[in-house]
Structure 1
Amino acid sequence: MAATIGVQLHVQDRHVVLDNGFLQVTLSNPDGIVTGIRFGGLDNLLEVLNQESNRGIKGTSFEVITETEDQVEVSFTRTWDPSLQGKQVPLNIDKRFIMLRGSSGFYSYAIYNHPKDWPAFSLAETRIAFKLRKDKFHYMVASDNRQRYMPLPDDRIPPRGQPLAYPEAVQLVNPVEAELKGEVDDKYQYSCDNKDNKVHGWICTDPPVGFWQITPSDEFRSGGPVKQNLTSHVGPTTLAMFISAHYSGEDLVPKIGDGEEWEKVFGPVFMYFNTTPVDASEDPKASLWEDAKAQMMVEVLSWPYTFPASEDYQKPDQRGYATGRLLVQDRFVSDDYIYASGAYVGLAAPGDVGSWQRECKKYQFWTKADEDGFFSINNVLTGDYNLYAWVPGFVGDYRCDATVSITSGCYVDMGDLVFEPPRNGPTLWEIGVPDRSASEFYVPDPNPKYINKLLVNHPEKFRQYGLWRDMVNYTLMPTWFTRWS
């Protein structure tokens, strides 16, 4: 019956309520802060003890953009006041929220705008963050093999928790749940490559309810496909990261110059909620997670969306495509061209070879080449780009010198492109495989006094970085070399 109910919008003096029969979302007016999410028998999924004064960027103006039975889109804007120069970031910010008929979730995106006559600023981080009820959401899922019951936020605070080398890493010395005693909690243990960071979240088991953050595209994220970003962590907190300096520092902080015109659309991302019958025979946590992954695929296949109302968000027919084939020419490996199988190929802002890794002002679009080196980069925003690539197994980065101009509806065939890895001669010896991964390197077991039990005998042991006794030293033994001529 709920699926037949149209979307309803209720505007009050201090709050705006979106309701489609599946869920009800309350936002402060005109701040545009999500203060309540009613779903699955819970009056509010969010932590009510978190003060509204500590909830992020506040709007100063509210506007209804779209209001039909099929869709409601609302806008909360903040226009920069020059009298606040030095106290407030010189940005116009438009936060949007969308609810669709029959949808078990809502979408959010934002448009950041810096006119050309405004002063300079740096944007160290921007994201969407939700803090959930700590009395309900105890089980966190970052991936198939990283999910567990998590500590409470109280466990991280002395005397229950003891900070280690940096404040994010805390040893649980007297947690509420005794079985967690001695473990180390660190939000960086749950980070993820952009390319893999599509869905994560939290589960309440009584009643069984899932709270999921789904990001269907990486185009608006900084740093490219292998940039690590945070996901969910103790709070309970779930994040949609757009720009961050994590794992990189100042290189990935956008610096908008004095008089520089800049605009970027972040999102939309989807906040998805699901539930399962209490008497289900299977593990409700597994059922909720599998359903969340299925919904993630629905969102990915629906990208780019057709329903956002902002003209700044380009729809499918406004975007373009680029295709081609990447070959490798390495005469020390083969006299023939080598297919760039599994190569990562992307369009990013024009720059030097490898500059995409530090690019954080504009958009990036990436794909993987097939076994014959053919690639197709779809749904690219209009603009000028360079094509970049790297090929697993070969040192170096590729950049096509020609500028790739994408216009609405265009189809750019780039033909055969040839990457020549940098060499001074034949390979004498090497440690590891040049694939932007350290998966083949030895990672020692952590000190038993400092562990995360989830990561013991885990394929990603490196996530317990710093918890082993000594640093790793590699020794090249004289008996390991092979004579060649």
Structure 2
Amino acid sequence: MQISKLVLSLLGSTAWFVAAQPSSSRPFLQPLNSTTGWIIGNGLWNITIGNVYGKKLFYKNQDLIGNAVGHYSGYDGEVNFQWTSASIYAETPKYLDVVFSATEIDLHWVIYPDLAGAYQYVVNKALPTLAVLRTLFRLVNTTSTHGRTNIKDDLLPPFADILVATKVQDETWQRADGTFITKYDWSTFIRELDFHGIYGQDFGSWYIRPGRDYFNGNHLKQELTVHRESATGDAVELNVIHGSHFQVNSSATFPVGKIWGPWLWYLNSGSKEDASRRATQEFANWPYSWLNDSRYQSRGSVSGKLILSDGRAAAGASVFLGDNNSNVSTLDQGTTYYYAGTADSKGVFSINNVRTATYGLYAWSDGGQIADVSTTYAQNDIVVENGKATALGTLSWELLSRQLIFQIGDLDHNAIGFRTGGGAYQHGLVADSPANLTYIVGQSNVSDWYYGQSALGSWTILFDLTKANITANKTAALSLSLAGYSRAVDIDVSVNSQLITSITSDSLASDPGLYRSSTAAGEWRFLEFNISAGVLKEGSNSVVFKATRTTLWRGFMWDSILLEWSS
């Protein structure tokens, strides 16, 4: 039976039609006899979906939602989509594609007869400019007790603990023993995420999201995954497909027809091993051949070789295909489709299964053999055609002609390597950084420098220069590479007691990285300041970062500090 776009509308329709009386396993869409919604599923599971919420999720004869809120989709907080109709978009011998329509989007559920769960994808119709777009499940906490990401697997915080704790900021509570509960501790770098979900002794609900080209942001894009809902105790499984929780700004306006997904929502007995095997299978099968959309299937590849102007290969460089001719940071780009890759030891990179379009190509140091490279590479007008390989050949990455005086920390856009940097997500960690710190070049280790500076006080770098280094007309450049900055903390930067600059909340945009549990990155910024001839001297010299204003859990997250002779 072949049915295409048969609309079953809640508005004005009294003659309901069932596509087919489902057998024990056949996928189905069944309208209810009143204006309360629809039931979809197969012989393994089914869910009742109203005009906003999905309820009564039955799997193995048990309702996984119960009194929890259930399944819903929305944007920017709690602006949730209202479904005005449901229809069979496509029916094939293999699957049923059911589409739920709202004014702003279509949400598709692709149901196979023998699959516990469904593929889902979203198509833009009339979304406003937004920062957050998501789908999610909120399940009963008695069956979903634990959460799992690629970096965290643990018991979800008990609801009882939240009820007796003190709220200290958004979705963050402090227990009587001083420890914190926050949903941000369950965040991760989403382009590294294999699968995530919530599970218990007998049930598991998982999101498996291969492809990732529909996500906004670059390699350092972080997002929420799972958590305990603070108002109700529901176990929450988030699918943030456009987000802003760790960025300066990710508001975007999308072209009509943009597709987010498909991803797989998968049910099982709670086995992480089974979910892992399924994730491996899904990643191998991407891009999905079953999605009958010519724009989705139209893809090519991009390859090239990045060589630094000093002859070195750009070994391990981060490579990103993003917006063409853009002045938006690669982390904040999010209108269309994006691809993240890494160059090998010879600077060679290859990105496959790229949607046909015209892109900008960006690259930057990810530490390692090119940890001293402060410049970034950019090339526009990279054209990708269907079925064709776009071979860019050897690309020359220009460096600055400078002589290094000292460098603290690798240039890799994150705080890994510094003390307390790069560990598990943890609220308030920057409060453990000292108010005053002295770092002696040639004696101190990188790990003596803390990942974040927040408290009132001075962090001092001491270094020596010989007479041979000093000439009358020699100028220098001080470069501050920030892995993130959360306002409102101000610092004065001085060299040998001469004020070079004041960095304040008025002069530097804020990201939430530090106060939302990240220990590695918020949004990268690179600041450079000229040091006039004569400021540096023979013998002992100093660079001082003096915090003159502070706010709890805010401040500077460090990536690298460089002082170089520029002439």
TM tier relative to shorter chain: 0.7 to 0.9
Counterpart pick for 2:179 among 180, 183, 197: 183
Write the letter of the residue equivalent to 1:169: T
Alignment of 1:324 onto 2:304 = yes
Q: Distance in 1 between matches of 2:265 and 2:224?
A: 16
For 1:279, the equivalent position in structure 2 comes to: none
When residues 470 and 433 of structure 1 are mapped into structure 2, their CA distance, relative to the original with a 3 A threshold, is closer
TM-fit CA distance, 1:469: 4.6
1:439 aligns to what SS in structure 2? coil
Whichever of the two has the greater Rg, that structure is 2
Deviation per CA, 1:15-70: give whole Å up to 9, x if none.
43333333223333xx364323222x352222434289989311212211123452
Write the letter of the residue equivalent to 1:161: A
Write the letter of the residue equivalent to 1:163: K
For 1:398, the equivalent position in structure 2 comes to: 377
Q: Which has the higher helix share?
A: 1
Write the letter of the residue equivalent to 1:46: I
For 2:116, the equivalent position in structure 1 comes to: 104
For 1:202, the equivalent position in structure 2 comes to: 198
Decide whether the 8 Å contact of 1:33 with 1:56 is kept in 2: no
When residues 67 and 188 of structure 1 are mapped into structure 2, their CA distance, relative to the original with a 3 A threshold, is same
Write the letter of the residue equivalent to 2:387: G
For 2:155, the equivalent position in structure 1 comes to: 149
When residues 161 and 372 of structure 1 are mapped into structure 2, their CA distance, relative to the original with a 3 A threshold, is same
Alignment of 1:132 onto 2:139 = yes
Alignment of 1:441 onto 2:465 = no
For 1:211, the equivalent position in structure 2 comes to: 205
TM-fit CA distance, 1:482: 7.0
Write the letter of the residue equivalent to 2:282: E
For 1:296, the equivalent position in structure 2 comes to: 279
Decide whether the 8 Å contact of 2:357 with 2:385 is kept in 1: yes
Q: Which has the higher strand share?
A: 2
Decide whether the 8 Å contact of 2:247 with 2:331 is kept in 1: no
Q: Distance in 2 between matches of 1:52 and 1:439?
A: 37
For 1:35, the equivalent position in structure 2 comes to: 55
Ranges in structure 2 where 5+ consecutive residues have no aligned partner = 1-22, 73-77, 230-234, 444-462, 469-567
Write the letter of the residue equivalent to 1:188: Y
Write the letter of the residue equivalent to 1:396: T
Of all paired residues, the percent bearing the same amino acid is 23
For 1:89, the equivalent position in structure 2 comes to: none
Write the letter of the residue equivalent to 1:238: E
TM-fit CA distance, 1:204: 1.2
For 1:192, the equivalent position in structure 2 comes to: 188
Q: Distance in 2 between matches of 1:228 and 1:412?
A: 29
Q: Distance in 1 between matches of 2:239 and 2:46?
A: 21
When residues 303 and 474 of structure 1 are mapped into structure 2, their CA distance, relative to the original with a 3 A threshold, is farther
Write the letter of the residue equivalent to 1:97: W
Write the letter of the residue equivalent to 1:328: L
For 1:379, the equivalent position in structure 2 comes to: 353
Write the letter of the residue equivalent to 1:389: A
Q: Distance in 1 between matches of 2:347 and 2:327?
A: 20
For 2:427, the equivalent position in structure 1 comes to: 464
When residues 472 and 294 of structure 1 are mapped into structure 2, their CA distance, relative to the original with a 3 A threshold, is farther
Decide whether the 8 Å contact of 2:295 with 2:355 is kept in 1: no
TM-fit CA distance, 1:385: 0.6
Write the letter of the residue equivalent to 2:167: P
TM-fit CA distance, 1:314: 0.8
Normalised by the length of structure 1, the TM-score is: 0.77
Deviation per CA, 1:293-327: give whole Å up to 9, x if none.
22112111111112234x37512xx2111112122
For 1:240, the equivalent position in structure 2 comes to: 239
Decide whether the 8 Å contact of 2:250 with 2:332 is kept in 1: yes
Structural mapping, 1:319-398, within 5 Å: 319-330=299-310, 337-352=311-326, 355-392=329-366, 393=371, 394-398=373-377
Deviation per CA, 1:171-194: give whole Å up to 9, x if none.
234xxxxxxx65311111111112
Q: Distance in 2 between matches of 1:460 and 1:443?
A: 7
When residues 478 and 386 of structure 1 are mapped into structure 2, their CA distance, relative to the original with a 3 A threshold, is closer
Write the letter of the residue equivalent to 2:89: I
Decide whether the 8 Å contact of 2:225 with 2:237 is kept in 1: yes
Q: Distance in 1 between matches of 2:212 and 2:165?
A: 35
Write the letter of the residue equivalent to 1:220: Y
For 1:118, the equivalent position in structure 2 comes to: none
CA RMSD, 1 decimal: 2.8
Decide whether the 8 Å contact of 2:68 with 2:139 is kept in 1: no
When residues 17 and 465 of structure 1 are mapped into structure 2, their CA distance, relative to the original with a 3 A threshold, is same
Counterpart pick for 1:432 among 409, 413, 437: 409
Decide whether the 8 Å contact of 1:6 with 1:69 is kept in 2: no
Decide whether the 8 Å contact of 1:33 with 1:55 is kept in 2: no
Deviation per CA, 1:429-476: give whole Å up to 9, x if none.
1111111221101129xxxxxxxxxxxxxx715633347455565423
Write the letter of the residue equivalent to 2:357: G
When residues 130 and 52 of structure 1 are mapped into structure 2, their CA distance, relative to the original with a 3 A threshold, is closer
Alignment of 1:168 onto 2:171 = yes
Structural mapping, 1:49-128, within 5 Å: 49-50=68-69, 56-79=80-103, 92-114=104-126, 121-128=128-135
For 2:65, the equivalent position in structure 1 comes to: 46
Task: Identify the range of structure 1 (41-50 vs 367-376) with the bigger mean alpha-carbon deviation.
Answer: 41-50
Write the letter of the residue equivalent to 2:418: F
Decide whether the 8 Å contact of 1:9 with 1:67 is kept in 2: no
When residues 225 and 6 of structure 1 are mapped into structure 2, their CA distance, relative to the original with a 3 A threshold, is same
Deviation per CA, 1:219-246: give whole Å up to 9, x if none.
1111222111111111311111122221
